[in-house]
Amino acid sequence: MKVPITLILFFICSILTAQDVIVVDWSPEYKLTLADFKSENTQIGETNLYSVYSSASLDYSVQMSNIQFMLTKNFNSKVSNRFFPESATIIAPDEDTALKMVDFAQYEFDVCELYARKFRKTLYEEKGTFSDISYVQPLFDNIRKEYNDRITKAGKTTDLGKKTEELKTLHEEVLKEIDELSDFCKTCKPKKKKK
């Protein structure tokens, strides 16, 4: 059987394109820079507008049988906070404004980590021995709403990072809260509660 050459090329291009996707998992050492905003829509100069889309994403993925799910208590590794440079966009009239937008995006990436940890903690605390997967979605929806509300409020309060002192204060609070949830990093194992 002959396969049309266009289908083969499409398949090869799809594989090559998929391999080019860059994803950055959150870590305390990784700090965003202007170079991380790789979207073709990023524009610095020749505009009076300013905006930032960080592309930080809070996701969870649970692929296991019902039995495995019932026997699992720690879901830390199933909840991810990722940054997608190819989607990240900054529009700014000048580099100084753009760098403030980068600081706001870093704040957003860190807030995303905070809510990833809050979600991991909630999953850990709410999971009963015979819980099924249905308990997860309402918890995720609630965490996502809290995250969105916090980012929206910070965007207004700091004018997307242009008010640097206000952003610095908010960012310090978030970093402290992240530290307080150290048992709920992606690779951590929460300590069992003493009875």
- Answer whether residue 10 shows pLDDT above 80: no
Q: How far is residue 71 CA from its own chain's centroid?
A: 27
3-class SS string, the chain: CCCCHHHHHHHHHHHHHHHCCCCEECCCCCCCCHHHCCCCCCEECCCCCCEEECCCEEEECCCCCHHHHHHCCCCHHHEEEEECCCCCEEEECCHHHHHHHHHHHHHHHHHHHHHHHHHHHHHHHHCCCCCCHHHHHHHHHHHHHHHHHHHHHHHHHHCCCCCHHHHHHHHHHHHHHHHHCHHHCCCCCCCCCCC
pLDDT tens for 134-176 read 788 899 999 999 999 999 999 999 999 999 999 999 999 999 9
Supply the Cα-derived Rg of the chain in whole angstroms: 20
Q: What is the pLDDT of residue 135?
A: 82
pTM for this prediction: 0.85
Task: State the pairing for strand pair 24-25/79-83.
Answer: antiparallel
More confident residue, 15 or 50: 50
61-108 tens-digit pLDDT = 877 777 777 778 888 999 999 999 999 999 999 999 999 999 999 999
